[in-house]
Amino acid sequence: MRTPAFLSCILLPAALMAQAPSLGDRVKAERPVVEKLMADLNYPEARKHAEALLPATRPVFDKKDNTTLVQSVAANLDMAEALRLAAEAADSAGAWEKALEYAKTAKSLAGECYEGVKVPFEQTVAWYKQSGTRAKQVLDENADRIKELKGKSVLDPGERQELDLALGVEKEIVDSAKWVKFFQTYLDVTKRESEAYDPLVKVMEDKIKGEADQVAEYKAGKGEVSKWVEAVVSSPAYLEAQGDKAGRARWLYRLATLDPENKKVQHQLDILNGKAVAAPPAKPGKKGKQA
């Protein structure tokens, strides 16, 4: 059996990508830069850097044949990974709604990958398994004759042809196993990736809902976001409750996203970033002398 021609083409895109880095290559290279910006609490710049990697349009998922399916999976999962990085950076910068949008789009892309390859690749895996089984059966049925032929030092033309056919069947078993592993790996990876973005989507949905509940429960603000922001930023206890400097920075950038005009939020960010100095705590007033 001859390996179908389209399978030999699958390796071609990898050779082409060696000449021009793929989106996945760029994300891998840029992730440390984005993570360093986030570690330095420069969340807006991290977001800008991550979002610059995102293509203007999502890749087309071409279902024409197995070759285009493989290429489409690679392109779509690369974009999903770029969206994950953008979601992480947007989350840190306080843009929770945008982070949720990125996470949902990544989940959609990964899901489309799995749904796109599930049936055709399962069929391909089954076909190669059957091919390998049939080839092994042929070898088992002719094991004695093949052993005899391999033991001869000189073969006549007919025997040489007979042995070559047997060697071809042996190669068919090896090739079938290779392609079973190849397509099964794609199935396993795409299935795993189709579920990988669920936690990120849930985290962002829960954060947005929890915040909305807090705003709604703030009676004095009557559900107005700006009044809620003013109330929480005016209470030192809220800032202290955010934990370390990174936690406070994330919280303040979220408040700045909700109410960009709030000067108290900006002042706290300036203090956090070393651009302003916190006012010293007020000293208790002295009691006047009694007459």
Rounded to two decimals, the pTM is: 0.83
| Cα–Cα distance for residue pair 225/257, rounded to 1 Å | 11
Handedness of CA 36, 41, 47, 48 (dihedral sign): negative
Cβ atoms of 230 and 264 within 8 Å: the answer is yes
Using 50, 70 and 90 to split pLDDT, how confident is the model at 283?
low
Mean pLDDT of 3-14: 40
pLDDT tens digits along 205-244:
999 999 999 999 998 888 899 999 999 999 999 999 999 9
| Cα–Cα distance for residue pair 213/48, rounded to 1 Å | 29
pLDDT tens digits along 26-44:
999 999 999 999 999 999 9
Nearest Cα residue to 74 out of 27, 129, 19: 27
Cβ-defined contacts of 44-48 (< 8 Å, 24+): 44/93, 44/253, 46/89, 46/92, 46/93, 47/86, 47/89, 47/90, 47/92, 47/93, 47/95
3 state DSSP class of 156: coil
- Is the confidence at residue 5, as pLDDT, over 90? no
Phi-psi region of 105 (alpha: psi -120 to 50; beta: other; left: phi over 0): alpha
| Cα–Cα distance for residue pair 163/142, rounded to 1 Å | 11
pLDDT tens digits along 47-84:
999 999 999 999 999 999 999 999 999 999 999 999 99
Residue 221: the pLDDT is 81
Mean pLDDT of 117-141: 96
Residue 241: the pLDDT is 93
